A and B are shown apart, each in its own frame.
Chain A
Amino acid sequence: MIGETTTTVILDNSGIRRALTRISHEILEKNKGLSDVVLVGIQSGGAYLAREISRCMEVIEGERVPVGFIDITLYRDDIKSQAPHKSVGKTDIAFSLEDKRVVLVDDVLFTGRTIRAALDALMDHGRPCCIQLAVLVDRGHRELPIRADFVGRNVPTSLKENVAVRFDDTQQPVEVVLEK
């Protein structure tokens, strides 16, 4: 019916767990362990997922990976057209990024503009050895030459649809839904 939104669950809770566990293994494999690896989650969904991935990696390797959080509001390219300006979230990276292997974490990869902003923000914090990208869902429709290194689930979508990762009050991922 016109005007009505339908919601389909793409990934349920255990699906998300499996995807995050696999991503954690892939990060460890690609970087040959976790020396010099740090996670940086993009506020707010990516920040919650970065914490989850860090927990998974700790279970696998028995060692804790540093986790930081970055807010990209001040680096957006659409800020000129945004009215009124949104509140600015907190950036909290308590460690140096110099020569680190940074894994940037976000929930949904779409146009790539958020990632572009996050890359600029990270560079202002230091010069990492490399930056890799981990996302829970890649929904396509890139507008910039950006791709993810680690993907939970590829979901072909139309531009009319919306993909959302839902979290509970304790910031644990609940499900990924497709709204159309």
Chain B
Amino acid sequence: MATEFKHKDIIALRDLSKDEIELLISTAESMREVNGRAIKKVPTLRGKTIINLFYEASTRTRTSFEIAGKRLSADTVNISPSTSSSTKGETLADTALNLLAMKPDIIVMRHAVSGAHYFLAKKVGCSVINAGDGAHEHPSQGLLDLLTMKDRFGRLDGLKVAIVGDITHSRVARSDIQGLTKMGSSIYLAGPPTMMPPGVERLGNVTVCSTMKEAVSDADVVMMLRIQQERQGKTLMPNAREYSRYFGLNPENLKWAKPDAMVMHPGPINRGVELSSYVADGSQSHVLKQVENGVAVRMAMLYHVCGGELAE
């Protein structure tokens, strides 16, 4: 495992080495101790200012980053689209320079455009963390998924992970593919052909399956993706019921996986579409564990990018 993290920004798991990912996971494991005690605060980032700039709706990720910053004693400020000047036509570059004039140490951003963070990081001197950009990556979700799987199995190499759903629009899938491939897991993808991007095998140790059964059979982990109704064109699937019949996870087809397989979902769940309530609330579901680990992982990311800023 690497003992140091030299990056100022975390934009994609693709940019990190296996050692660096292991370091972030190990730090996150240590951060959990802080979250479990009565006084959930450490002074590490005292005096640092974190701006959460969310151009897309988010409850989980934004709250999680905000709590993570506060538990490290940083001051966190949230900016969301309805209250920001982007509704008045301000460009991302101008918003960035204006925020920078207020001397933040870290900007956590979610943006609808893939790669917007690389642009932002070039414009600003402070650290940039990607909280989701278009259909590119969602590194904090990828890391918390890795941590949750490691909790359950004690390792990540050799795991068979099925990812089922709308791969095309899923930045979670891309971060998971990058992270899992580096850690030595095998990824099996399933979804309607209209939601399967051509050439996705080239991203990592990925097998594209023609049916859900092929992907889920014998899997250690079944990762269900949310059907992103806000990103769908009209033609990708006939209707939610048909989708659910072929690509929804229910107690019956979960039996294809290993008996103790874990079920994961990045949330928010469309109950009865990609995940039946029996499975979502069942004993194999780790959905809430993922949310819990999210805070610890984001604390680790904030902690290490602050040191990376000094290293440059």
A-B contact count (CB 8 A): 71
Expressed in whole angstroms, the Cα–Cα distance for A124 and B71 within the complex equals 12
A166 contacts the other chain (CB 8 A): no
Which chain B residues border A87 with CB–CB below 8 Å? 1, 3-4, 23, 26-27, 30
**Residue from B6, B26, B33, B308 whose CB has the most chain A CB atoms within 10 Å:** B33
Tell whether A74 pairs with B42 under 8 Å between CB atoms, given A86-B4, A90-B29, A91-B33.
Answer: yes
B43 and A85 contact, CB distance less than 8 A: no
- Known contacts A74-B43, A82-B310, A124-B42; A88/B37 CB under 8 A: no
For the complex, is B307 an interface residue (Cβ under 8 Å from A)? yes
Contacts of A76 in B (CB 8 A): 44
Point out the residues of chain B lying under 8 angstroms from A85, CB to CB: 4-5, 303-304, 306-308
Whether the pair B27, A125 counts as a contact (CB closer than 8 A) is: no
B:278-312 near A, CB below 8 Å: 300, 303-304, 306-311
Q: How many Å from the CB of A119 to the closest CB on chain B?
A: 13
CB distance from A63 to the nearest CB of B (A): 27
Chain B positions 33 through 44: 1 when the CB is less than 8 Å from some CB of chain A, otherwise 0: 110011101111
CA distance A81 to B306 in the complex (A): 10
The minimal Cβ–Cβ distance linking A100 to chain B, given in whole angstroms, is: 15
Partner of B5 from the list A80, A81, A84, A90 (CB cut-off 8 Å) is A84
B300 partner residues in chain A, CB cutoff 8 A: 88
Interface residues as binary, B232-247 with A (CB distance below 8 Å gives 1, 0 otherwise): 0000000000000000
Provide the residues of chain B in CB contact with A86, threshold 8 Å.
Answer: 3-4, 307
- Is A159 in the interface zone, CB < 8 Å from B? no
Chain B contact residues: helix, strand, loop or mixed: helix
Q: Which of A75, A82, A92 contacts B33 (CB 8 A)?
A: A92
Query: A179 in the interface, Cβ–Cβ < 8 Å?
Result: no
User: Which residue of chain A is the closest to B47 with respect to CB atoms?
Assistant: A80
Check A81–B310 contact: CB distance below 8 A.
yes
Residues on A with C-beta less than 8 A from B74 are: none
* A83–B307 alpha-carbon span in the complex (Å): 5
* A81 neighbours in B (Cβ, 8 Å): 310
Query: Are A125's CB and B311's CB within 8 A?
Result: no
Those of B15-37 within 8 Å (CB) of chain A: 23, 26-27, 29-31, 33-34, 37
- List A residues 27-85 near B (Cβ within 8 Å): 71, 73-76, 79-85
A55 to B137, CA, bound (A): 50
Residue A99 lies at the interface, judged by CB distance under 8 Å to chain B: no
Q: Report the bound CA distance from A87 to B3 in whole Å.
A: 6
B307 touches A88 (CB 8 A): no
Q: Can you show 8 pairs from A to B with CB atoms below 8 A apart?
A: A75-B43, A84-B308, A85-B308, A86-B3, A90-B29, A91-B33, A121-B42, A124-B37
| 4 pairs of A and B residues whose beta carbons are closest in the complex | A85-B307, A83-B310, A74-B42, A88-B30
Other than A75-B44, A84-B4, A88-B300, give 11 A-B pairs with Cβ distance below 8 A: A73-B30, A73-B44, A74-B43, A74-B303, A83-B309, A85-B5, A85-B303, A88-B27, A120-B43, A124-B37, A125-B39
